[in-house]
Amino acid sequence: MSPYVEVQQFYARHMHLLDAGAAEEWAATFTEDGTFTGPGEPEPLRGRAELIATMSKAAAEQKAAGEQRRHWHGMVDVEELPDGNLQATCYALVFSTFQGKDPQLRRTCVCRDILVRENGELRVKARFVTRDDLP
Amino acid sequence: MSPYVEVQQFYARHMHLLDAGAAEEWAATFTEDGTFTGPGEPEPLRGRAELIATMSKAAAEQKAAGEQRRHWHGMVDVEELPDGNLQATCYALVFSTFQGKDPQLRRTCVCRDILVRENGELRVKARFVTRDDLP
Amino acid sequence: MSPYVEVQQFYARHMHLLDAGAAEEWAATFTEDGTFTGPGEPEPLRGRAELIATMSKAAAEQKAAGEQRRHWHGMVDVEELPDGNLQATCYALVFSTFQGKDPQLRRTCVCRDILVRENGELRVKARFVTRDDLP
């Protein structure tokens, strides 16, 4: 499997876990010390425990509100770094659908990941996300 | 071509046929006995004749209304099953554009397919679609 | 890398350049005599100078308005032509986000490209785009 396809397959499972609210399994697709630098956040999330805590809270709020989010990555640019890791830069869409309502496009973003292999599987070592609606 | 890429290529042609209203060619991308279990439907469609009938009716209504739909699959997770078939689980978006109007996002869905090879080409043996706005 | 993956990787960088307003680098992803037959335009753009001029003007207008566009290609059908070139037919989405506002889906389109290799890299020799909201 080419690195490009490997990244596409990785993002698919990664997003299915996120949108299913599977916080621990989703966090396991980051390295143990993985970081998530989100838009408009003063500090990045650092490590799986922080990722799980933040993601669980959001998932619980969405579930209580009857909201299903869907995260799409696309226009994926994969670059093999000299150290053998991958840098993936892509666009991201966030959709939101409430029970009985029309779906909404909430965000268009850009995501840049440093992806490393652990035991043969890709994991996010560092993620940087920017939102198009914020400076 | 890796199975992952094969599935992406397959979905592209499959959706181009669907959105062009090419009912018979689209139904031919299912197996002869292929099934389509749609959201909110009491019974799955079974076999190409039922697929053609349902799809032709929808295509005629859309054409009469000046509506162009576009179906997108994305975040495709492909799993090779022990019997050599493929299971593809992906997100689906349905867009609708009427002549002279702005496009609309109509649906966000999840689609799971069992894909088999016949004469070297992928075909849908069973499709299961759920809509995010329905329970 | 399979031609299919090569096209996906090409479109990613191509669109990142377009949406970043990098007119010259974007135009360099067309052949020197590349054409762009747009929707509702009386004449195609011909050659990099025309592509740069048209794209720079649009990028300047968007920047002045605080608008970030994002172009997505998807459902990509890649066909290898007898002469070794590629024909890629895909769906295109155009999103627009203004600072501090919700994102908007502006267009759903179909894009057909003739792609050739120059010095081992894909370039657009001819592009044909249609909009779903226009006849």
Q: Which residues of B touch A (CB under 8 A)?
A: 2, 4-5, 74-78, 89-91, 93, 105-108, 132-135
pLDDT of B37 strictly over 90: yes
3-state DSSP call for residue C83? coil
- Chain B residue whose CA is closest to A96: B108
Domains of chain B and any CATH numbers: 3-131 (3.10.450.50)
C12·A90 Cβ contact <8 A: yes
**C-alpha distance from A18 to closest chain B C-alpha (Å):** 12
Q: Looking at residue C54, what is its pLDDT?
A: 96
pLDDT band at C41 (very low <50, low <70, confident <90, very high): confident
Tokens in use for A21?
């609210």
C16·A89 Cβ contact <8 A: yes
- Please list every residue in chain B whose beta carbon sits closer than 8 Å to the beta carbon of residue C90: 12
At B67-92, the pLDDT tens digits run 999 999 999 999 999 999 999 999 99
Q: Looking at residue A101, what is its pLDDT?
A: 97
DSSP string, C12-66: HHHHHHHHTT-HHHHHTTEEEEEEEE-TT-SS-EESHHHHHHHHHHHHHHHHHHT
pLDDT band at C42 (very low <50, low <70, confident <90, very high): confident
Whether A37 and B37 have beta carbons less than 8 Å apart is answered as no
**C-alpha distance from C53 to closest chain B C-alpha (Å):** 27
pLDDT of B9 strictly over 90: yes
Whether B135 and A99 have beta carbons less than 8 Å apart is answered as yes
Interface test with C, best of A5, A132, A134 (most C CBs within 10 A): A132
C-alpha distances in Å from residue A6, one per residue of A76, A114, B6, B111, C3: 12, 14, 14, 21, 16
Whether C108 and C92 have beta carbons less than 8 Å apart is answered as yes
Please give the backbone phi and psi of residue C119, each rounded to the nearest 5 degrees, phi first. 55, 40
Q: What is the mean pLDDT of residues A110-117?
A: 98
Closest to A112 measured CA to CA, from A2, A11, A9: A11
At C49-102, the pLDDT tens digits run 999 999 999 999 999 999 999 999 999 999 999 999 999 999 999 999 999 999
Q: Looking at residue B1, what is its pLDDT?
A: 84
- Chain B residue whose CA is closest to A99: B133
Tell me the ipTM for this assembly: 0.96
- Please list every residue in chain A whose beta carbon sits closer than 8 Å to the beta carbon of residue C71: 75
DSSP string, B12-77: HHHHHHHHTT-HHHHHTTEEEEEEEE-TT-SS-EESHHHHHHHHHHHHHHHHHHTEEEEEEEEEEE
Q: What sign has the CA pseudo-torsion B74, B134, B45, B25? A: negative
pLDDT of C135 strictly over 90: no
